[in-house]
Amino acid sequence: MTNYTIGQQPRCFALVPAAGVGARSGAEGPKQYVKLAGQAMMAHTLQALSEVKGLVGTLVVLSPQDDQFESAVPGFKGEGSWVARCGGASRAETVANGLRELMALGAQAHDWVLVHDAARCLLRPEWVERLMAACAADEVGGLLALPLADTLKASQQGRVAATVSRAEKWAAQTPQMFRLGLLMPALARLDESITDEASAVEALGHQPLLVESSMENFKVTWPADFALAERLLLSRV
């Protein structure tokens, strides 16, 4: 049984967890503020979200110690552009804190939240709109993802231990779209097995919808990713 408000049209909110320090990126400081094609990485992400039809607003969740956002992303302002410095020690904790902030801003249990990585800065509005359309009537929600094309290897001490079948395997991306009333209890059990919102929802016994996305929607993680992301951003100009 849910406590969703019957008869009220659900709204869609975006939530961008950005409390991390980018330890794997090789960058000095948080990677979301590294400049790509003339702007902070996160500025490109937030610009794409601002162009998505049907989003009520976007909440960026930062570390309490973050003192760079306003100067690094000066264009993020106005109605429906919210910032909360309530990030936690993990992604799951940061998102959970952000959901509580959204409820304080007026979001309801039956509303949708689209959680998106700040470091997926090549996002296109039409990909998000396709996800929203696919999930609008779904009981669970879903996520952008990409079917795996490469052969997968399991490793042991730097050598191949086994070849893993790639059949029916997808690489999870973001946004990941779920109702507040489902995602909040899913994230209440914070443990190391929860690596994204979908895995939290899966742990409750649900099966999120997979919505095919683009290879361009990759997460800037490793040092070489920055140059690739910049080249792709510049190619769009």
Average pLDDT for the chain: 92
Task: Compute the distance between CA of residue 197 and CA of residue 176 in angstroms, rounded to an integer.
Answer: 7
Length of the chain: 237
Predicted confidence band of residue 59 (pLDDT cuts 50, 70, 90): very high
pLDDT in tens, 172-213: 999 999 999 999 999 997 677 788 999 999 999 999 999 999
Q: What per-residue confidence (pLDDT) applies to 194?
A: 85
Q: What per-residue confidence (pLDDT) applies to 21?
A: 65
Domain tally, the chain:
1
Task: Compute the distance between CA of residue 175 and CA of residue 130 in angstroms, rounded to an integer.
Answer: 11
For residue 98, give the CATH number of its domain.
3.90.550.10
Task: Compute the distance between CA of residue 206 and CA of residue 141 in angstroms, rounded to an integer.
Answer: 9
Instruction: Tell me the one-letter amino acid at 102.
Output: L
40 lies in which domain range? 12-235
Residue (of 15, 14, 99) closest to 56 by Cα position: 14
Task: Compute the distance between CA of residue 167 and CA of residue 33 in angstroms, rounded to an integer.
Answer: 37
Q: What per-residue confidence (pLDDT) applies to 136?
A: 96
Task: Compute the distance between CA of residue 58 and CA of residue 60 in angstroms, rounded to an integer.
Answer: 7
What's the rounded mean pLDDT across residues 56-72?
A: 96
Looking at the domain assignment, is residue 6 inside a domain? Answer: no
pLDDT in tens, 72-112: 999 999 999 999 999 999 999 999 999 999 999 999 999 99
Within 13 Å and on the Cβ side, how many CA atoms surround 14?
31
Looking at the domain assignment, is residue 4 inside a domain? Answer: no
Predicted confidence band of residue 28 (pLDDT cuts 50, 70, 90): low
Task: Compute the distance between CA of residue 19 and CA of residue 62 in angstroms, rounded to an integer.
Answer: 4
Determine the 3-state secondary structure of 209 from DSSP: strand
If residue 36 lies in a helix (H) or strand (E), which one and from where to where? Answer: strand 35-36
Residue 5 pLDDT greater than 80, yes or no: no
Q: Model-level pTM?
A: 0.92
Residue 8 pLDDT greater than 70, yes or no: yes
What's the rounded mean pLDDT across residues 125-143?
A: 98
Looking at the domain assignment, is residue 1 inside a domain? Answer: no
Residue 60, token pair as written in the block: 């960026």
Q: How many beta carbons lie within 10 A of that of residue 134, not counting itself?
A: 17
What's the rounded mean pLDDT across residues 120-134?
A: 98
Q: How many beta carbons lie within 10 A of that of residue 44, not counting itself?
A: 22
